[in-house]
Structure 1
């Protein structure tokens, strides 16, 4: 099957370039179009789903777009699947579309995700267990919190805690940068056994490569111990258009450790996403079988039979 990849930051450009235009509902879908933001976890997760669908007889297209563009595309039936609906960060973006009957949240594909401030285990064992403990050792941290890209929910929460002097953070500073730059800086400090606190989240390869501890929140600061759920978002009409695709998407729930491993291989070891997906599928057919229970391939066979024939 032909897999297409599209990269564009704007909806109009993306839809014109890819030929994605709204079409009348049909009884069956031949091409499954994914919306994929520039996040390693969603990239590999989408690739795994795409390879399974191709083995079932579908064509797939992975469209690399900004989250707002993706959600608009799903709402307009220009995209079939978005696997990165991170709650609570995207709640205000997704829920109005759900309320309007334009999209459906079919599955929590990652449950028990965590985000917030982290420290290396050697810092935790030295007594920094909560956000309030940070200020007792301010000099060791140079009064700095290493953050990620501006405009993200966790950065906003950290800056709010600083502005309101919550948990003693009023005289601290947030050093925002790209995720890659933040992790490079934090990684260097950890190699030198220096003290550092930075934004962490799971699933991510950092949890495989580094021995980290997520701090407990304190004083209602809202910058640590944040539990999250990642939703699969599809057009509200998908169940009627393709019940088998809808059923697969509703059963596609990924173990957090599996996604940690995927992201570690893809982002840290630089293994191409298609290789990560192919190798994992071939060695985890029992998990795949649970995802495909009751799902039929395009030729009418049980989907798991089509997948096993393709990957074995």
Structure 2
């Protein structure tokens, strides 16, 4: 009889929140760095979670502060663990279990230095070519917000690829893209931090540079993006951990959503809502084995609310 009661309670703990979740799970605290891709995926999660009866708030933080906030329990989840770059820079957080991995939300990404294709055709194919054209580039590499350019800063400080006297210009994703747009329009040379998914791959002819394995990993910074959480989050909030483990995207969808934001002027939430409505079939995979906050099957509650 005792074994039967334990089994029943375990089943109730999964299907209803009264036993399964800590009270703090009702409100999910997330972070991003102002990256368009993470804004899109985080807002997608927020829309679905709100239809499930949860509340999700997002705070703009630097990458270093995000990891510290996860470690200290001030942030619950972060959908922007680009790896291997962050796994190298923030290795101690994984080695010491200061963060925990909930799932992979994107495969097939890349993250490394890029140039306009016309510049590549003029002879710049890899990191080691940059120094040969230092004057053309003004000895500048354009990055994004401070805290996200450490591999480049370390590269310059160490003088790798002959770039010791170069400057890494830190601004923001939007600031960097403005520089790219200006340079392309004026047929000027520029080297910048590029990545996929992003509409820069649709809006410009760009070429990713080889030879940056030490800075960004092999295969042109070939990357996956994971969702990570504060320590103990999966145990305290198993229903939410299941949802975040299920939540996955693809390159084409993220490119399309980011183009809505950057080129069409939609805010991230509106773009996320449009993508959910356009691809309602994804909800079944995202909500497999997931319940609403009050214990009902999540798909039955969410699909009518978000696709009508």
Q: TM-score, normalised by structure 2?
A: 0.79
Given the alignment, which residue of 210, 221, 228 partners 1:233?
Answer: 228
Structure 1 residues 175, 81: closer, same or farther in 2, change over 3 A? closer
Given the alignment, which residue of 140, 159, 162 partners 2:156?
Answer: 159
Shift of 1:157: 4.1
Shift of 1:303: 1.6
Structure 1 residues 169, 237: closer, same or farther in 2, change over 3 A? closer
- Mapped to 1, the partners of 2:98 and 2:127 lie a distance apart of 40
- Mapped to 2, the partners of 1:228 and 1:90 lie a distance apart of 10
Shift of 1:188: 1.6
Number of aligned residues: 283
Give runs of aligned pairs for residues 140-219 of structure 1, distance below 5 A: 140-149=136-145, 152-160=149-157, 163-164=159-160, 166=161, 168-169=162-163, 173-179=166-172, 180-217=174-211
Q: TM-score, normalised by structure 1?
A: 0.78
**Partner residue of 1:42?**
38
After superposing on structure 2, the runs of 4+ consecutive aligned residues of structure 1 that deviate more than 6 Å are none
Given the alignment, which residue of 294, 303, 309 partners 2:298?
Answer: 303
The CA deviation string for residues 258-300 of structure 1, in whole angstroms up to 9 with x for no partner, is 2233333223433112111111111111123212212122243
Shift of 1:46: 1.0
| Structure richer in helix, relative to its length | 2
- Mapped to 1, the partners of 2:104 and 2:228 lie a distance apart of 9
Matched residue SS, 1:43: helix
Matched residue SS, 2:25: coil
Shift of 1:29: 2.6
The CA deviation string for residues 213-254 of structure 1, in whole angstroms up to 9 with x for no partner, is 101117x77478223332211233233323221111111122
Shift of 1:54: 0.7
**Partner residue of 2:7?**
none
**Partner residue of 2:78?**
82
Structure 2: gaps spanning 5 or more residues: 1-20
Q: Contact 2:283/2:303 (CA < 8 Å) preserved in 1?
A: no
Matched residue SS, 2:281: helix
**Partner residue of 1:16?**
none
Give runs of aligned pairs for residues 260-279 of structure 1, distance below 5 A: 260-279=255-274
**Partner residue of 1:14?**
none
Q: Is residue 2:245 matched to residue 1:250? A: yes
Matched residue SS, 1:117: strand
Q: Contact 1:115/1:226 (CA < 8 Å) preserved in 2?
A: yes
Higher alpha-carbon deviation: 143-152 or 114-123: 143-152
Higher alpha-carbon deviation: 246-255 or 86-95: 86-95
Q: Contact 2:152/2:215 (CA < 8 Å) preserved in 1?
A: no
Shift of 1:195: 3.1
Structure 1 residues 269, 174: closer, same or farther in 2, change over 3 A? farther
The CA deviation string for residues 166-190 of structure 1, in whole angstroms up to 9 with x for no partner, is 2x546x6335141333322221221
Q: Contact 2:31/2:58 (CA < 8 Å) preserved in 1?
A: yes
Matched residue SS, 1:285: coil
Shift of 1:138: 4.8
Matched residue SS, 1:96: helix
Structure 1: gaps spanning 5 or more residues: 1-24
